[in-house]
């Protein structure tokens, strides 16, 4: 059963050896020339499970991978029961929201500590389970890197996701993410990456000198 | 023609953010009476802001006159003057702003400062009938994926470095192509690309919904200077790569926002290959694909006039003493109460 048609993959909820699983299929994109399409699909299909596995080693909850089929560009993984953070954040009290954002920041910090860049940090790609655990999903755009620049861009995306989707409390939410991040990486590293984010924002087009970014 | 002020209201819009100086005249119900564009074409290299501004100052009078002739109304029939207040190149913006202030003072009508990026989306909605689209705005200066949420056009994705049109232009210049009147670099690259056969892998850089083109540009220019590949193949590969990136992030924004329309606008919107890619993803998501016709997709005065009307009708005007230009005025910094009201 198709449950989500995303930009790069379709997610199906299926029964697989008596388990509820997610089948992530990277179907061919007709708009791309076949060579580019194959390159992108096979690279991401192979790469995503590897990084998901490494994220577990970093102490970040991710779905368990059951099967990888490169030819079909399909990954079978554990179905995570819960809700997207995007769906629940607006209903939370300020206190709950802060706690959740702090947890998210901590997990991002752990990924970065292990040289993992998620590449698409949005509140749609985080699942909150009924037990209160946050599970990171969708590592399709992730990469290995320990550079300050890539870490900065990763967090910049998170900040932008708050600004476009949770604009009412974007600032406080992102501040809490950075607090959680600092717990994982240490204050010095967090300070450096925050400086980098500012630099990245200034580099962006049409950011006024005083850097008035909409909230 | 009656001599007294007509019952219909009109707005005159001046656009001068970059290489085009343009004047548009619209009635308040959205009829475009005139949309005159004068383009500055550099002899060599990219746009020099001061040279472009000099061009704008030289042609301003003539373009205004032509617009009034085309619209068949008199200056006294104008109720509002709108101008592009930013973002853009300082000298160019100031030339347009000066003309707008002078006109508003002379006619004793209110002035409205319009955000250039908002204007591209608003005119696109007017001419295509789109109501609430995911907009991909691609030009020489901008690469933005935007959609309206709670009072503002939010930026879901944008370039982290150069604009996609800039990337194509620089490559075309490096390849020795010459810009001609009415034939932009993008069209030349498109024509060359249509003869390309072999796809050459280039850096594909998508970060969430953001994009980066500078590394890709460096790589393709290097390949060009190595001289091992036909120019047609390089143009083909460059186009395929950048447009696939744009289509991927637009699809991501579409999946994320679950909107029902995709609007393609800006100078690069004229590219048929990009149009076909976006129309395919729109189809897959049961969304309507709208492409803005060229005369309203390029920088133009009509879009400024139309957005000026929308703002003015919500009592947004700009006192002359506050009408300084904003070179880096972000799309998502604009409060747009006229949308979805």
How, if at all, do strands A143-144 and A116-117 pair? Answer: antiparallel
Give the mean pLDDT of chain B. 94
Select the residue of B208, B276, B281 nearest A122 (Cβ to Cβ): B208
Q: State mean pLDDT over B135-151.
A: 95
E strand segments, chain A:
2-5, 10-16, 19-25, 65-69, 74-78, 83-84, 116-117, 126-128, 134-136, 143-144
Tracing tokens 């790569």 back to the chain, one arrives at B241
Select the residue of B199, B254, B326 nearest A36 (Cβ to Cβ): B199
Select the residue of B156, B206, B276 nearest A164 (Cβ to Cβ): B156
Task: Tell whether B335 is within 8 A of chain A (Cβ).
Answer: no
Q: For B28-38, what is each residue's pLDDT tens digit? A: 999 999 999 99
Task: Look up A69 and say whether it is catalytic.
Answer: no
Provide the Cα torsion A179, A183, A188, A191; round to 10°: -20
Name chain B contacts of A5, Cβ cutoff 8 Å: 255, 284-285
Nearest to B201 by CA among A32, A142, A35: A35
d(CA B139, CA A135): 38
Instruction: Kindly determine whether residue B255 and residue A7, on different chains, have CB atoms separated by under 8 Å.
Output: yes
pLDDT in single tens digits along all 215 residues of chain A = 999 888 889 999 999 999 999 999 999 999 999 999 999 999 999 999 999 999 999 999 999 999 999 999 999 999 999 999 999 999 999 999 999 999 999 999 999 999 999 999 999 899 999 999 999 999 999 999 999 999 999 999 999 889 888 888 999 999 999 999 999 999 999 999 999 999 888 776 555 443 444 43
d(CA B27, CA A186): 60
Instruction: Kindly determine whether residue B276 and residue A31, on different chains, have CB atoms separated by under 8 Å.
Output: yes
d(CA B338, CA B296): 20
Instruction: Kindly determine whether residue A33 and residue B199, on different chains, have CB atoms separated by under 8 Å.
Output: yes
Q: For B81-95, what is each residue's pLDDT tens digit? A: 999 999 999 999 999
Interface test with B, best of A9, A118, A164 (most B CBs within 10 A): A164
Taking CA B164 as the corner, what is the angle to CA B147 and CA B159, rounded to the nearest 5 degrees?
Answer: 55
Residue of B nearest to A43 (CA): B204
d(CA A36, CA A38): 5
Rg over CA atoms, chain B:
20
- Do A214 and A163 meet the contact criterion of CB atoms below 8 Å apart? yes
d(CA B291, CA B144): 15
Name chain B contacts of A163, Cβ cutoff 8 Å: 154, 332
Which listed residue (A91, A120, A138, A154) is catalytic? Answer: A120
Q: For B262-303, what is each residue's pLDDT tens digit? A: 999 999 999 999 999 999 999 999 999 999 999 999 999 999
Q: For B186-201, what is each residue's pLDDT tens digit? A: 999 999 999 999 999 9
Task: Tell whether A191 is within 8 A of chain B (Cβ).
Answer: no
Interface of A with B in 110-129 (CB under 8 A): 119-122, 124
The pLDDT of residue A204 is: 64
Which of the four pLDDT bands, split at 50, 70 and 90, describes residue B3? very low
């Amino acid at each position: 059963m198709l449950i989500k048609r995303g930009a790069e993959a379709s997610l199906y909820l299926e029964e697989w050896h008596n388990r509820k699983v997610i089948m992530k299929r990277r179907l061919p994109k007709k708009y791309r020339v076949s060579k580019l399409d194959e390159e992108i699909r096979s690279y991401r299909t192979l790469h995503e499970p590897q990084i998901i596995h490494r994220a577990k080693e970093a102490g970040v909850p991710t779905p368990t991978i059951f099967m990888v089929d490169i030819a079909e560009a399909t990954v079978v993984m554990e179905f995570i029961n819960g809700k997207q953070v995007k769906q629940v954040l607006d209903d939370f009290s300020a206190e709950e929201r802060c706690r959740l954002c702090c947890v998210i920041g901590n997990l991002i910090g752990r990924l970065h500590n292990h040289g993992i860049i998620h590449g698409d940090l949005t509140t749609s790609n985080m699942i909150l389970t009924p037990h209160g655990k946050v599970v990171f999903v969708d590592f399709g755009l992730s990469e290995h890197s320990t550079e300050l620049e890539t870490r900065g861009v990763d967090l910049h995306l998170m900040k932008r996701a708050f600004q476009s989707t949770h604009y009412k409390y974007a600032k406080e939410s992102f501040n809490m993410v950075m607090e959680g991040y600092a717990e994982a990486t240490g204050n010095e590293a967090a300070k450096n990456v925050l400086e980098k984010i500012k630099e990245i924002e200034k580099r962006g087009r049409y950011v006024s000198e005083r850097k008035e970014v909409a909230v | 023609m009656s001599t007294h002020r007509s019952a219909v209201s009109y707005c005159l819009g001046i656009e001068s953010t970059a290489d085009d100086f343009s004047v548009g005249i619209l009635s308040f119900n959205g009829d475009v009476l005139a949309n005159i564009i004068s383009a500055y074409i550099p002899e060599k290299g990219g746009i020099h802001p001061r040279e472009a501004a000099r061009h704008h100052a030289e042609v301003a009078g003539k373009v205004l006159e032509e617009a009034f002739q085309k619209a068949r109304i008199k200056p006294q029939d104008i109720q509002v003057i709108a101008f592009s207040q930013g973002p853009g190149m300082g000298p160019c913006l100031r030339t347009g702003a000066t003309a707008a202030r002078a006109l508003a003072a002379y006619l004793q009508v209110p002035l409205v400062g319009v955000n250039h990026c908002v204007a591209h989306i608003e005119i696109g909605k007017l001419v295509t009938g789109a109501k609430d689209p995911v907009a991909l705005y691609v030009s020489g200066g901008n690469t933005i994926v935007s959609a309206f949420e709670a009072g503002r056009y939010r930026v879901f994705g944008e370039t982290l470095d150069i604009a996609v049109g800039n990337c194509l232009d620089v490559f075309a210049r490096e390849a020795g192509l010459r810009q001609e009147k009415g034939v932009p670099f993008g069209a030349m690259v498109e024509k060359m690309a249509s003869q390309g056969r072999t796809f050459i892998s280039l850096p594909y850089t998508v970060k969430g919904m953001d994009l980066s083109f500078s590394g890709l540009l460096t790589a393709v220019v290097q390949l060009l200077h190595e001289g091992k590949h036909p120019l047609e193949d390089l143009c083909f590969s460059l186009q395929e790569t950048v447009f696939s990136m744009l289509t991927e992030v637009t699809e991501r924004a579409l999946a994320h926002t679950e909107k029902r329309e995709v609007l393609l606008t800006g100078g690069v919107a004229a590219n048929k290959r990009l149009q076909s890619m976006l129309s395919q993803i729109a189809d897959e998501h049961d969304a309507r694909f709208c492409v803005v016709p060229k005369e309203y997709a390029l920088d133009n005065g009509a879009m400024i006039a139309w957005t000026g009307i929308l703002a003015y009708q919500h009592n947004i005007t700009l006192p002359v003493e506050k009408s300084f230009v904003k070179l880096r005025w972000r799309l998502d910094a604009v409060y747009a109460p006229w949308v979805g009201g």
